[in-house]
Structure 1
Amino acid sequence: MADDQDAALLARLASLRQHQQGGRRSPHKPLLVLLALGQLATAGSSELPWSQAQARLSDLIAEFGPLTRTSRAQSAAYPFTRLRSDGIWVLDQDVPMDAVRPLSTHHVVGRFEDSLEAALRHDPTLVQSAARAMVESHFPPTVAPDVLTAVGLDPNLVLHAADVVPDPSGNAERRRDPRWRTAVLQAWDRQCAFCGFDGQFLGASVGLEAAHVRWFAFDGPDSLDNALALCVLHHKLFDLGALGLDASARVLVSAAFTTRTDAGQALYDLHGRALRPRPGTPLPATEHLTRHQREVFKGQPLIA
C-alpha cells in the first residue's frame, strides 16, 4: 500500500502541464518543483518567499532553460504563479497569474500543497525519488547533476534513488539500449564528431560519449541518425546549447559563449566545421537537428 501511495504522489509531481511557446520546451515548472524539493531537503520546508525565489529561479531558467526574451523576473513569475493550477503548489496570498508586482508588493510565499508537503516530510527518500524522476524527465544525463547541485540536492544521492514511479507519460518506462553507446562510438570511428579527440587508455576509448541530438528525455530514439560521438566537453556544451548544428550538419558556436584563454578559444575554430562521419554512418536526421536548434541551442551563432 505504501508503494502505491508513493507512486501516486510522484505521479502528481510528474504530471505537470507544460507550457510551450512556439513548440519549444519550457522547463520552468520542473525547475520550480526541483527548487522547492531542494528547499525542503535543506530547510525542512518547501516554503519559498518570492524575494528568494525570484533570483534563484530566474538563474535556473537562464542556465538550464531555452533562451527567452522575457525579463528574468517575469520568467520566474510564470511558474511561481501558474504551478497552482497543477494542484501541487499554493501561495499564501491570492495574486493574479504571471503578475510580478503583486508578488513583490505583498511579499508572497509559495510552498507545496499541504498533503504533498506532509508526505515528503514524512519520508525524505521520496524527495530524492521525486527529484530523480523530475530531473531525468526534463534534462539529459550531462546536465542533470548540474541542475540538482544548483537547487541544493546531492546528485549522488538523487540519481541513485530507487525507482518508484514509471515514465511521467504513464507509459512503461523507457530504457536506454545498453548496446547503443558502443554502436555510436564505432560508427564515428571512436573520435569526437566535433573536434576529432580519440583518446584511449589501456586500449579503451576514454573521454568519449554517445550523445543524443534529440534528448532521450524528449523521446529521442537510440538510433544512429540521432547520435553523435562527442568528447565529454563538447557533449556538455552541446546539451547546454553553446554548440549546435545547422541544417547541413555544420557545427554552430553560440555568440553567447565567451572565453579568454587559448584553450577556450579553440572552440571558436569549430564554428562552420562540417561533420565527416565514417562511410555508412548517417548524419543526424533533419527532424532531430531542427528540434535541437529550436529547443536547446541558445542565442545566435557566431558570424562566420
Structure 2
Amino acid sequence: MGFGVFIHRTDSIYDDVPSKRYQFPKQYLTRVQQCEGDWIVYLEPSKVRNTKGYFAVAKVQEVIPDHRNADMHLAVIEPGTYLDFGDPVPFRFEHKIVEQGLLNDVGKISGRAQAAVRPLSPTDFARIVELGLGTDHDILPRVGRLSENGGFKEDQVPFQLPTARERINQLTNRAVRDRNFRKTVLRAYGERCAITGLRLINGGGRAEVEAAHIRPVEHDGPDIISNGIALSGTAHWMFDRGLVGLSDDLSVLVSRQANDPDAVTSMINSSGKLLVPERAAEHPRAEFVSWHREHCFKH
C-alpha cells in the first residue's frame, strides 16, 4: 500500500467518476495497484483553464479489469471516502512546489510530473491534505498540558504537522467532512441560494446560506459537489422535508402538501429553475436529483 496522485480532468477521454472509479490503461497498472487499500489525491492539470490543482482525496478500495474495455482497468473508490478539498491546493503554493517528490537532485521539476498516476510520499500527502482541509483550530490537537497545581502551563509543546496517518483520521471525521462540503458547495454556487437566487451576508461577513445534500449522508449520499446545493435556511428546511423538489431539467417543484403553495412558489427565482454553478461537472447529478424526487419529495 502507498499514497498516490491521480490526474483527472472533467473533459477526460476516460470513463472517470472521481467519487466512484478511475479508469486507466494497462501501463499504469503496477502504480495503481501500489495504492490499493490506501489514499490518493486527485490533481487537475495546470493546462486546464482555471485549474483547481489538488482538489480531492479518496481511498482506493480495489483495482479490477474494466470488462467493458480489455485495454483498461478501474481503480474502485471506497464508498464514503471521497472528499473535495474545502481549499483546493495549487501546484505551487507560496512560490514552492507542493509535491516535493517531483523535484530532482538539483531542485528542478522532474519528468515524473508528467505521469498521470504516480506515487506520493507520506510527507507530501500530509502537506496537501493539510492545505486542502484548511487550518480551523477546532480540529487540530491541543498542545497544552495540565500543570501540577491543576491549571494550564504557559509553555506549550511546539506545534508539529500531523502525520499522514493522523490526517487520515481527520478525513473520516464527520465534522471535518461537513465543513469541507460546505466550503466547496458555497464556493461553487457563489454563496447564493440556488432556489431563491438571494445572496445574503450577515453582519459578520458570513453568507446566510447552507450546503444541502440532495441525497442525505444517512442514505448513502456522498460528500461531493454534484450531490449538494446551496440553499437559504428556509429553502433547505423545505427541501429536506420534501415540500420542494427538482425535475430532471432542474425546474423547482412545489409539493401539493405545502400549506401555502403560492407563497412557496413566490420564493422561487424568476427562471423557475435551480441556479447552477458555471462548471457543468458541479451541477446536481441526475441520479441524486431523481433519488430525492422519489424518496423525499411529497407529490
TM-score by length of 1: 0.38
- Name the structure with the higher helix share: 1
Q: Which has the higher contact order (CA 8 A, sep 6+)?
A: 1
- Name the structure with the higher strand share: 2
